[in-house]
Amino acid sequence: MKIVLFGKNGQLGWEFQRILPLWGEIICLDREELDLCNLHEIQDILKELKPDLVVNASAYTEVDQAETETDKAMKINALAPGLMAEITRKSDAVLIHYSTDYVFDGRINRPYKEDDSTNPLNMYGKSKSAGEENIKQAGGAYLILRTSWVYSMRGNSFVNKVLGWARKNETLRIVGDQISNPTWSRALAETTNLILAEYQPNLFEAIRERRGVYHLAGSGYASRYEWAKQILACDPNRTEQWVRTLEPVSSDEFPTPAARPLFSALDCSKFEKTFHFSLPDWKESLQAAMSE
Ligand SMILES: NC(=O)c1ccc[n+]([C@@H]2O[C@H](COP(=O)([O-])OP(=O)(O)OC[C@H]3O[C@@H](n4cnc5c(N)ncnc54)[C@H](OP(=O)(O)O)[C@@H]3O)[C@@H](O)[C@H]2O)c1
């Protein structure tokens, strides 16, 4: 199987870069090899490489910056995935794409199901939602996996931010009214990989039959405050922490350019019913990620 992976250096893409070579030839692309804003290049490269599977782990993920860099966010999150879907449909290839809980407005009081109405509150969510629509319109064999609060132990994730703040401050004030599913990038990549394992060598037919939107995120949900509390508890170098008080605060105390949904937990039962896998409980994954 020939695979093209977009976004190889991102939280999720980095994990895929390790796993996917198991399945054959993999061509990993990032901004240097291909800037997704250059839409014609996506077309050229996919037509030239003719992959059997495209995994799109790339995205414009700067939620606040997207409010002003709207065109760029739309190109990367909406037009580029649409083009990937059109090309994969024409060549009978599979597209696996990721979307976000931020397509929802967070105003219902239970975890969101796939067919709940979308109503993004910010430009990032709007661009991701438009990407979903473009993929659906193109048709073909695609999976749109909506996930949420993705973290890794590399780079500037929420987990690493909390660990850094805890080493510099005696009091941490963390938003307590935003709730969703913390999702370890490795668990997300590995669970996606189980689909590839399950349906070889008939991946195309299997995905075409099951194409659609699925929620796939860490099991259970938490507020950012509860997440931070658990991060501090799992810290293997706890003695380095200065923090003495962790305080839940309202989102109103940290105004941001982009509005965020308050309750955007995802109900992942459709994925579990269809593929018979699920992600571990978010606390278990966090413990595993932090004890590496
Ligand atoms: N992070 C979250 O909390 C979260 C929550 C819900 C859903 N998601 C979704 O999950 C997926 C994976 O997210 P992630 O956290 O792994 O993202 P990430 O770490 O921000 O990585 C995004 C990747 O996209 C690449 N990229 C951005 N602009 C590009 C461009 N113009 N041309 C080529 N590549 C470009 C980045 O390249 P560079 O390394 O060069 O910047 C990076 O490799 C995305 O679809 C995201 O929308 C994420």
Name residue 248's beta-bridge partners: 174
Confidence at residue 292, expressed as pLDDT on a 0 to 100 scale: 83
Q: Rounded to the nearest whole angstrom, what is the distance from the C-alpha of residue 243 to the centroid of ligand 1?
A: 31
Tell me if 172 sits within 8 A of 165, measured CB to CB. yes
Phi, psi of 12 (to 5 degrees): -80, -45
pLDDT digits (tens, 9 = 90+) for 240-291: 999 999 999 999 999 999 999 999 999 999 999 999 999 999 999 999 999 9
Q: Rounded to the nearest whole angstrom, what is the distance from the C-alpha of residue 98 to the centroid of ligand 1?
A: 10
Q: Which of 124, 142, 214, 225 is catalytic?
A: 124
Give the number of other Cβ atoms within 10 Å of residue 49's Cβ: 16
Residues of the chain with pLDDT > 70, as a percent, come to 100
- Specify the residue with its C-alpha closest to ligand 1, atom 17: 10
- Specify the residue with its C-alpha closest to ligand 1, atom 28: 60
CB of 13 closer than 6 A to ligand 1?
yes
Confidence at residue 155, expressed as pLDDT on a 0 to 100 scale: 87
CB of 289 closer than 6 A to ligand 1?
no
CB of 74 closer than 6 A to ligand 1?
no
Q: Which of 103, 150, 160, 179 to mutate to test the pocket of ligand 1 (most atoms within 8 A of CB)?
A: 150
pLDDT digits (tens, 9 = 90+) for 59-103: 999 999 999 999 999 999 999 999 999 999 999 999 999 999 999
Give the number of other Cβ atoms within 10 Å of residue 287's Cβ: 14
- Give residue 76's identity as a one-letter amino acid code: I
CB of 10 closer than 6 A to ligand 1?
yes
Let me know how long the chain is. Answer: 292
How does residue 167 score in pLDDT terms, banded at 50, 70 and 90? very high
**Chain CA centroid to CA 178, Å:** 17
pLDDT digits (tens, 9 = 90+) for 11-21: 999 999 999 99
- Give residue 30's identity as a one-letter amino acid code: D
Confidence at residue 281, expressed as pLDDT on a 0 to 100 scale: 97
Tell me if 16 sits within 8 A of 186, measured CB to CB. no
Position of tokens 């599913």? 181
* C-alpha span between 145 and 292 (Å, rounded): 26
CB of 145 closer than 6 A to ligand 1?
no
How does residue 6 score in pLDDT terms, banded at 50, 70 and 90? very high
Give the number of other Cβ atoms within 10 Å of residue 44's Cβ: 12
* C-alpha span between 16 and 65 (Å, rounded): 26
- Give residue 156's identity as a one-letter amino acid code: N
Whether the predicted pLDDT of 5 surpasses 90: yes
The question of whether 60 is a catalytic residue gets the answer: no
| Pairing relationship of beta strands 94-100 and 141-147 according to DSSP bridges | parallel
CB of 127 closer than 6 A to ligand 1?
no
Q: Rounded to the nearest whole angstrom, what is the distance from the C-alpha of residue 61 to the centroid of ligand 1?
A: 5
CB of 58 closer than 6 A to ligand 1?
yes
Is the pTM above the cut of 0.95?
A: yes
